[in-house]
Structure 1
Amino acid sequence: MIAVAAAAAFLATFNETFLNVAFTPIMQDFRVDVNTVQWLTTGYLLVAAVFVPVANVLYHRFPTRQLFVAVVAIMVLGSVIGALAPSFEVLLIARLLQAVGTGLLTPIGMNITLAVPPREKLGQNMGIMAAMTTLGPSLAIVLSGVLLTVSPWQTLMWVFGGLTLLVLIAGAVILRNVAALGRPVLDVLSFLLVAVGLVGILYGVSSAFGGSAMYAGISIILGLVALWLFVLRQRRIENPLIDLRPFSSAPFVIGVLMTMLGLAFVFAMNVTIPLFLQGARDMDPLGAALTLAPGILLTVVLGPIAGKLFDRHGGRWSIPLGFTVMAVFVTLVGVAAGQDSVLLFGVLYIPAVLSTAFVIGPSQTFALSSLDRETSPHGVTVVSTSFQVAGSVGTSLATGIYGAVAASRAPGGHVESLLSGFRGSVVLVVVTSAIGIALAVLAYRRKATARSVDSTAPRMNAIEAIMKNDVYALSSDQTVLSALQTFAERGISGAPIMHRDGSLAGFISDGDVMRYLSATHPSSTSIYSFAIGAEDDLEQAMTDLGSLNVLKLATRDVLTIDADASIADAVAALSDAHIKKVPVLRGNEVVGIVSRSAINRMAIASYLNSRGENLQTATAG
C-alpha cells in the first residue's frame, strides 16, 4: 500500500513539469506565445491547489480503493483528451482535468502513508514519499527530453496516460480501506472562497512579471480577502472544508513553511535550467534533461535514508544543513553557468538537488508528527495544498525573474541576457534557502524550550501514563460490519462511537457482536467458523451486520473515567463493571482508553523492577 501511495505521489508531481520541455513545439503547433503556453503549468498547479481541500471530505466519505481508482481514472481521461487535442484551448482543458486528479490524489496518498505504517516508521515512509515528489517533476523533464527527440509532444500525453493506467490497476488490486468513513458534507461556499483565494493570489504572483502590476496587485488583494473570509467561515460551520486546528501548532506551521521552501527550489530550477541550457547553450531537450539526471536519481536513493536518519536523530542539524548545502551549491551553479563547461554545471547541481532529501521529507515529518491522530488528516490537507502553492509560486517567481532580468539586459547580447536572468533565479533560491535555515533554527529552539518547560512541569497523571492515546473511534453512522473490519485491521476488540460533534455516543465491542449473532443467528454462534472455511453459515449473518448501525448494538450508557482520575479509580471501575477497557475523557473529548491489560502490565513491570532492585541489593550485600 505504501508503494501504491508513493506511485500516486510520483504521478501527481511528475505531470506538473512533464510538458515543460515541450513548450517550444507546442507553441509552434498552436501558434501561441510563451506567456500563453506557461498556463499549461501554472493553470495546472492552480486547479490542483484548489481541489486539495476537497480530498479530505472525499477521503472520509468513500472507501479508499474506490476513491483512488476514480481519481486516477480522471487523470487517464485527461491524458487521452490532451493527446487528441485539436487546439490549445482543448489541451489546456485536458491539463486542468488532470490537475483535478492531482489535487485529489496527493492528499489521498499521504493519508494512506500516515494510516498504514507504525508511528516510529513515519520518517522513513515520509522520506519515500518525499523522494517520489522530488523524483516526479525532475524525472519528468528527463523522460520528456528523451521522448521529444524521437516523437512529437503528443506522445508525452499517451505515455502519462499509460503510467496512470498502471497505477490505477495496482490500486484496484492492492488497496483496502484505511479511513474512518462517515458522511462529511462539502461546504460549497467554502470551496468557492478557497478557490477564489488561491487563484487570486497565485494568478497575481504569476502575472506580476508578465502583465499589469496593477491587475496583479488587485488579484492578490482579492485573493487575500477571499482567504480571510474562508478562515472566518471555517470557524463557524459544523463541517469545515479545512480544519484549522493544525495551525495552532507552531512546529506544524514552521514545518510546512520549510517544506514549501524546499519544493520552491525544485520547481524553480526544473523550469529555469532547461530554459537556460536550451536558450543560451543551444542544447537540445535531451541534453538539457540529462544534465539534471544524475542528481535526480541519487535523490531518490537518498530520500528514504534521510527519513531513517530523521527517525533516529531528528532534524536539528540535517534540515539547516540541507538548506545550507542548497544555498552554497546553487550559488556555484550560477557561477558555473558563465563558464563553457556544461559538465561542471551538472556536477555542481548534484549536491544542490541532493540537499532537498534532507529538507522536504524531514520537514513534512516534523510538521505532521507534531499533530495527533485526529488532526493529522487535516494537516495532510494543508501540506498537500502547500505542495501545489509552492510549485506554482516557485515556477512563477523563477520564470518571472528569469524573463524580467533577461529582458532588462537584452542590449548586452542574447547569451549574456539569459545568463543574467538565470542568475536572478539563483538569487531567489539562495534567499529562500537562507529563510529556511532561519526557520529550522527557530523550530528546534522552540522545541528545546518546550522540552525544558515540560521537564519542570508536574509529572503527568498516572492514568495518562498507561492509557492508549491512539484511539480508533467509530462514527455513529457506521455499520457493525465496518466496525468489525476496523477491529480486524487495527488489532483491537472494541472502540468508542462518536457523534459528528465529537461527543461520545456509545461503545461497542466484539463481545456485543457475538451476543447479537448468538441471539439472532444461532447457526453462526461462533464467528471463528470463518477460520475453518465454513463461510456459508455466516453469509446471512454478515449481510445482516452490513446493514445494522453500530448504535443498535452499542452500550449507550458508557462507563468513563476522567483524565484526572487515579489508577486506583480505574481499577475500581473496571472491576466493579466487569469490563475490559474504559474510555478516558477530558471534558467531553475522548483522549484515551485504559484497559485491564495495561494495568496488569504496569503492575507486573513494577513488581519485577522492585524485585530486580532487591536482588541487586542482596547480591551486593
Structure 2
Amino acid sequence: MSSSPTARTAQTGRAGWMIAVAAAAAFLATFNETFLNVAFTPIMQDFNVDVNTVQWLTTGYLLVAAVFVPVSNVLYHRFPTRPLFAGVLALMVVGSVVGALAPTFSVLLIARLLQAIGTGLLTPIGMNITLAVSPREKLGLNMGIMAAMTTLGPSLAIVLSGILLTFAPWTTLMWVFGGLAFLVLLAGAVILRTVTDLGRPKLDIPSFLLVAVGLVGVLYGVSAAFGGSPLYAAIAGVVGLIALWLFVMRQSRTAHPLINLKPFSSAPFVFGVLMTMLGLAFVFAMNVVIPLFLQGAHGISPLGASLTLAPGILLTVVMGPIAGKLFDRHGGRWSIPLGFLVMAVFVTLVGIAAGYTSILLFATLYVPAVLATAFVIGPSQTFALGSLDREAAPHGVTVVSTSFQIAGSVGTSLAAGIYGALTTANIKAGRDEFDAMLTGFHGAVGFVVVASLIGVVLAILAYRSVRAQRATDSTAAEHDASNTVASIMKSNVYALRADHTVLDALQIFSERGISGAPVLNEDASLAGFLSDGDVMRYLSATHPSSTSIYSYAIGAEDDLEQAMTDLAELNVLRLATQEVVTINADASIADAVATLSDAHLKKVPVLDGATGDLVGIVSRSAINRLAIANYLRSRVDTQQPIETVTV
C-alpha cells in the first residue's frame, strides 16, 4: 500500500522547514508589491514618464497578480510542489534581472509583470503548503505566521527601499529582490516535497482570458481617464465591463469555473469583501501618493519618505492580532465602522498638515489613520469568510485573495491618477509647483476619505444583513430543529460559581459523575470552563511526587493532604480556561462536529444565540451516539442480531 504525499511529508519530519519556506515565499511576494513605490520619482526622471504612467508599475503588478491567483489552484494540484515552486521563483528572478537591465520603461513594465505572475501564484501555493503539512493542533499558529509575513512584507519593503535609495540607484532594488528570490528558490529546491495528491484539473482558458481582459480594460480605463484619451478610456472601460459580465455568466455554466461564485449568494460575505477592499485601497493609495508628494513637493529623500510611512505601517502589523482578538470577543459591529471613521478623520488632518513644513506633524497624524486599518481589513476578511459554510469557505478564500490584488490596483490607479491629473492641470494653469502638487495630494486624500465614509455605511449595512440572515436561519431552524445542537445537547448543566475553590469543583465532579463544568459569574454569564484535566496538569506541576491524583489512593497521605489544602485555597478561575470555545444552540450538528474536532475538545458549552446565556453542553459522546443510531436505523432491514456475553 502506498502512502499519500501528505503522509510521507509528516514522516520525514520536514513540516517545520517547509512552513518556513512557505512563509518566506509569502513575505517575498507581498514585499515586492510596494518595493518600487519609493523609487517612482527617480524612475520618472530616468525614463521621462509622468505619474500616470509610472503608477502602472504597481497597478499592473497587482492586476496581473490578481488574474493569476485562481490559476494557482489548478497548477498546485497538477504539478509536483518542488518544481512548481522553483519554476515560479525562477520567473521572478528573471523578471528582476530584466528590470535591472531595462533600457526603456516598457521593458521595465514587462519585467514587473513577469514578477507579478510569480506573486499571483506564490502566495496561494505557500498557503496551501502550510495547510497541507501543519499538524492540526498547530494550524492556527502556522496560518497566523503566514498572515504576519504577508502583512510584514509591504511594510519592510518601503523602509528597506528608502534606505537603499539613499546611496544606490533604483536598479539596485531589482538586483536585491532578484537575490532574495534566488535564495528562497534554493531553499525550496532543497526542502520542499510534494504535499498534495496530484491529478489533472482543467484550466478554463476562456474564463482566464475573460477575467484578464475585464480587469485590464476596467483598470486601464480608470487610469487613462486621468492622463490619456477620454475616448480610449471609455472604450477600454466598456470592453472590460462586458468581459467581466461574460466571465460571471461563464462561471455559472462551465463545469470547471476559474472562480466559484457561490460565496456571493451570501450578503454578509459580499459586504465583508467590499469593506476589505476599501481598507486595502486606502493603504495602497496612500503608500503610493505620500512618497510622490513628499519627494516632489517637499524635496524629502526616498529614505525620509519611507520613514514617514514606516511607524504607522509597522504599528499596524503589531495591532493586527490585537484587533483580531477583539473581533473574536466582541465582533466588529462597532469597531469596523469606527475604524473607517478614524481613517477618514485623520487622513483629512494629514491633508491639512501637508501644506505646512512640519513633516513630523504630517507623519504623526498619519499614524492613527493607517493604524485604524487594522480594525478594518483583517476583521472584515474574517467577517466575510465567517459567513460561509464549510463547503463554500475554500471558494471564499480564492475570492478574497483575488480581491486583495484588485483593491490594490484600484487604490493605486485612482489615487495616482487623481494626483497626477490635478497636479498637471494646476501647473498648466500657472500655479507654482508646490501648490499644484498640494492640490493633487488633496484630491487623492479626498478619494480615500470618500472611500472610508462609504466603508462606514457598508459596515452598518453589513450587520443589518447579518441580523436578517440570522432571522432567516432561525425560521429555518424552527422547521428543522432536529438538525441543530439544541436537539442533542444536555440541558441540565451542572455549573460552578466563580467564587468556588478547585476543591469544591472536584467534589462536584465526584458527586455528579462529570469530568468538567462551566464557571459562571454572578450574572450567570460564562466566565470559564474547568476540567479535571486542568486540575491534573496543575497538580503535576506543583506536586511532582505524583503525576496523577489517583496515585494518592495507594498512600502518600502527606502529599494528599498538602495537595488538597492547596486546592481548597485556589479559586477555580485560576485554573479554568477563560478563552472558552462555545457554540450557539441553533448551530448545525455539522458545525458542532467541526468545533469539537478543530479545538480537540470532548465537550463545549452551548449558548443561546439571542441572549448569550448558557443553555447546555454538547459532547462528542452525544454526537457519536447520534451517528451510530442513524447508521443502525438505516440498516434496520439488514441488521443481524448481536449476541451479548454474560459474565
TM-score, length of structure 2 as denominator length: 0.69
Tell me the equivalent position of 1:279.
296
Residue among 238, 241, 254 paired with 2:271:
254
Distance 1:334 1:184, change over 3 A: same
Alpha-carbon shift at residue 127 of structure 1 (Å): 6.5
Q: Is the 8 A contact 1:122 1:365 kept in 2?
A: no
Q: Helix, strand or coil for the counterpart of 2:112?
A: helix
Give the alignment of 1:21-100 within 5 angstroms: 21-100=38-117
AA at the equivalent of 1:299: T
Alpha-carbon shift at residue 378 of structure 1 (Å): 2.2
Tell me the equivalent position of 1:435.
454
> In the aligned structure 2, how far is the partner of 1:65 from the partner of 1:102?
16
* Structure 1 residue 359 corresponds to structure 2 residue 376: yes
Alpha-carbon shift at residue 430 of structure 1 (Å): 0.8
Tell me the equivalent position of 2:465.
446
AA at the equivalent of 1:78: G
* Structure 1 residue 164 corresponds to structure 2 residue 181: yes
Q: Is the 8 A contact 2:52 2:226 kept in 1?
A: no
> In the aligned structure 2, how far is the partner of 1:45 from the partner of 1:5?
20
Residue among 216, 237, 256 paired with 1:220:
237
Tell me the equivalent position of 2:433.
414
Tell me the equivalent position of 1:510.
none
Alpha-carbon shift at residue 342 of structure 1 (Å): 0.6
AA at the equivalent of 2:439: S
> In the aligned structure 1, how far is the partner of 2:384 from the partner of 2:142?
14
Tell me the equivalent position of 1:341.
358
**Identity among equivalent pairs (%):** 74
Alpha-carbon shift at residue 374 of structure 1 (Å): 3.3
* Structure 1 residue 458 corresponds to structure 2 residue 453: no
Alpha-carbon shift at residue 25 of structure 1 (Å): 2.8
Alpha-carbon shift at residue 32 of structure 1 (Å): 4.1
> In the aligned structure 1, how far is the partner of 2:327 from the partner of 2:422?
39
Distance 1:39 1:463, change over 3 A: closer
Find the structure with the greater CA-based Rg.
2
RMSD over equivalenced CA pairs, Å: 3.3
Q: Helix, strand or coil for the counterpart of 1:412?
A: coil
Give CA deviations for 1:379-427 in whole Å, capped at 9, x if unaligned: 2222122122111111111011112222333333221121111111111
AA at the equivalent of 2:370: V
Tell me the equivalent position of 1:596.
none
Residue among 409, 414, 423 paired with 2:442:
423
AA at the equivalent of 1:142: V
Alpha-carbon shift at residue 240 of structure 1 (Å): 1.1
AA at the equivalent of 2:203: L
Tell me the equivalent position of 1:267.
284
Q: Is the 8 A contact 1:122 1:311 kept in 2?
A: no
Alpha-carbon shift at residue 348 of structure 1 (Å): 0.8
> In the aligned structure 2, how far is the partner of 1:383 from the partner of 1:365?
10
Q: Helix, strand or coil for the counterpart of 1:327?
A: helix
Give CA deviations for 1:122-167 in whole Å, capped at 9, x if unaligned: 9987776555444433432221111011112121012112222343
* Structure 1 residue 105 corresponds to structure 2 residue 122: yes
Alpha-carbon shift at residue 461 of structure 1 (Å): 5.3
Distance 1:369 1:117, change over 3 A: farther
Q: Helix, strand or coil for the counterpart of 2:478?
A: coil
Q: Helix, strand or coil for the counterpart of 2:227?
A: coil
> In the aligned structure 2, how far is the partner of 1:447 from the partner of 1:120?
30
TM-score, length of structure 1 as denominator length: 0.72
Distance 1:295 1:458, change over 3 A: same
Distance 1:33 1:378, change over 3 A: same
Q: Is the 8 A contact 1:125 1:304 kept in 2?
A: no
Give CA deviations for 1:540-593 in whole Å, capped at 9, x if unaligned: xxxxxxxxxxxxxxxxxxxxxxxxx997443334788899xxxxxxxxxxxxxx
AA at the equivalent of 2:340: F
Distance 1:229 1:464, change over 3 A: same
Distance 1:91 1:409, change over 3 A: closer
Give the alignment of 1:494-513 within 5 angstroms: none
> In the aligned structure 2, how far is the partner of 1:176 from the partner of 1:439?
44
Alpha-carbon shift at residue 303 of structure 1 (Å): 1.4
AA at the equivalent of 1:58: L
Alpha-carbon shift at residue 106 of structure 1 (Å): 3.0
Deviates more, 1:407-416 or 1:186-195: 407-416
> In the aligned structure 1, how far is the partner of 2:313 from the partner of 2:75?
33
Q: Is the 8 A contact 2:423 2:440 kept in 1?
A: yes
Q: Is the 8 A contact 1:40 1:95 kept in 2?
A: yes
Alpha-carbon shift at residue 226 of structure 1 (Å): 0.8
* Structure 1 residue 572 corresponds to structure 2 residue 592: no
Alpha-carbon shift at residue 220 of structure 1 (Å): 0.7
Tell me the equivalent position of 2:334.
317
Alpha-carbon shift at residue 445 of structure 1 (Å): 1.7
Q: Is the 8 A contact 1:124 1:308 kept in 2?
A: no
Structure 1 residue ranges without an equivalent (≥5): 473-488, 492-564, 580-621
> In the aligned structure 2, how far is the partner of 1:421 from the partner of 1:319?
29
> In the aligned structure 2, how far is the partner of 1:14 from the partner of 1:40?
14
Give CA deviations for 1:292-341 in whole Å, capped at 9, x if unaligned: 11112111111122222223332222221211111111111111112221
Q: Helix, strand or coil for the counterpart of 2:333?
A: coil
Alpha-carbon shift at residue 224 of structure 1 (Å): 0.7
Alpha-carbon shift at residue 373 of structure 1 (Å): 3.5
Give CA deviations for 1:27-48 in whole Å, capped at 9, x if unaligned: 4444444444333222222222
Alpha-carbon shift at residue 368 of structure 1 (Å): 1.9
Q: Is the 8 A contact 1:371 1:379 kept in 2?
A: yes
Aligned residues: 490
Alpha-carbon shift at residue 223 of structure 1 (Å): 0.5
Tell me the equivalent position of 1:234.
251
Alpha-carbon shift at residue 194 of structure 1 (Å): 1.1
Tell me the equivalent position of 2:346.
329
Q: Is the 8 A contact 1:65 1:177 kept in 2?
A: yes
